[in-house]
Structure 1
Amino acid sequence: MRIALLTDLHANRQALDACLAHAARMNADQYAFTGDLVGYGGDPAAVLDTVMDYAARGAIVVKGNHDEATVSGPRRGMHAEAREAIAWTQGQLSAGQLAFLDTLPLTAELGNMLFVHASAHQPQAWEYVTGVAQAERSLRAAGSRMVFSGHVHAPSLYRRADDGSMGQHAPRPGAIVRIAPQHQYLVIPGSVGQPRDGNTAACCAIYDDGLRQLTYYRVPYDHGAAARRVIAAGLPIVFAMRLVEGL
Structure 2
Amino acid sequence: MKIAVLADPHGNAVALRAVLADLKSFHPDKTIIAGDLVGYGPEPKEVIDIVRGIDAIVIKGNHDDAVIRKDYSDMNELAAFAAEWTASVLDDERVFYLSELDFMKEFELEGRKIGVYHGSPEDPFEYVFSEARARALLGKSTMDVIICGHTHIPMFVRCADRILLNPGGVGQPRDGNPDASYALLDIDDLRPEFRRVRYDINKVQRQMIEAGLPVFLAARLSMGV
Give the 5 Å matches for 1:33-182.
Answer: 33-54=33-54, 57=55, 59-111=56-108, 112-123=113-124, 126-161=125-160
In structure 2, the partner of 1:226 is 204
Structure 1 residue 160 displacement after superposition? 1.9
**What percent of counterpart residues are identical?**
38
Contact 1:147 1:185 in 2 (8 A): yes
Contact 1:120 1:139 in 2 (8 A): no
What is the DSSP-based 3-state SS (H/G/I as helix, E as strand, rest coil) of the residue aligned with 1:85?
Answer: helix
In structure 2, the partner of 1:10 is 10
Opposite residue 88 of structure 1, the aligned amino acid is W
Give the 5 Å matches for 1:226-245.
Answer: 226-245=204-223
Q: 1:139 to 1:76 in 2, by over 3 A?
A: farther
Q: Is structure 2 residue 165 aligned with structure 1 residue 187? A: yes
5+ unaligned residues in a row in structure 2: which ranges? none
Contact 2:72 2:83 in 1 (8 A): no
Structure 1 residue 88 displacement after superposition? 0.7
Opposite residue 38 of structure 1, the aligned amino acid is V
Contact 1:121 1:137 in 2 (8 A): no
Structure 1 residue 110 displacement after superposition? 2.5
Q: 1:94 to 1:145 in 2, by over 3 A?
A: same
Q: Return the alpha-carbon distance in structure 2 between the equivalents of residues 110 and 77 of structure 1.
A: 30
After the TM superposition, list the runs of 4 or more consecutive aligned residues in structure 1 that deviate by more than 4 angstroms: none
5+ unaligned residues in a row in structure 1: which ranges? 162-182
Q: Return the alpha-carbon distance in structure 1 between the equivalents of residues 223 and 95 of structure 2.
A: 31
Q: Return the alpha-carbon distance in structure 2 between the equivalents of residues 132 and 103 of structure 1.
A: 32
In structure 2, the partner of 1:164 is none
Using structure 1 for the length normalisation, give the TM-score. 0.85
Structure 1 residue 141 displacement after superposition? 4.5
How well do the aligned residues superpose, as a CA RMSD in angstroms?
Answer: 1.4
Q: Return the alpha-carbon distance in structure 2 between the equivalents of residues 94 and 53 of structure 1.
A: 17
What is the DSSP-based 3-state SS (H/G/I as helix, E as strand, rest coil) of the residue aligned with 2:106?
Answer: strand
Structure 1 residue 138 displacement after superposition? 2.9
Structure 1 residue 75 displacement after superposition? 4.5
Using structure 2 for the length normalisation, give the TM-score. 0.93
Structure 1 residue 10 displacement after superposition? 0.5
Deviation string for 1:12-43 (max 9, x for gaps)? 01100000001101111211110010000000
Opposite residue 126 of structure 2, the aligned amino acid is E
Q: Return the alpha-carbon distance in structure 1 between the equivalents of residues 180 and 209 of structure 2.
A: 19
Structure 1 residue 200 displacement after superposition? 1.1
